Amino acid sequence: MPTFDFECKKCGHRFSEFVSIKNKDKVTCPECGGSVQQLFTGFLYISKGSSSSGSSSCGSCSGGSCSTCGL
């Protein structure tokens, strides 16, 4: 089950909760019982292993040097 981050619309409390995707709309604030909105947070994915092309590109650039991966 995924973890989602929420913020209460009534009291501003922020929290994370393990909840299924189909039930995330039923989540309420654990502090006041108010309605919540989902916060969208980023995540980092790192692929391990060698690429088939042999380049040292991070995948978000076309190769060589780029500011996002430091290559």
What domains can be seen in the chain, in order of their start residue? Answer: 3-39 (2.20.28)
Task: Give tens-digit pLDDT for 14-40.
Answer: 999 999 999 999 999 999 999 999 998
pTM, whole model, 2 decimals?
0.57
pLDDT at 5 over 90: yes
User: What average pLDDT does this structure show over 29-58?
Assistant: 76
DSSP per-residue string spanning the chain: --EEEEEETTT--EEEEE--GGGGGG-B-TTT--BEEEEP--------S--TT-----SSSSSS--TTT--
Q: Tell which residue, 30, 26, 25, has the closest CA to residue 10.
A: 30
Contact call for residues 46 and 40 (beta carbons, < 8 A): no
More confident residue, 47 or 15: 15
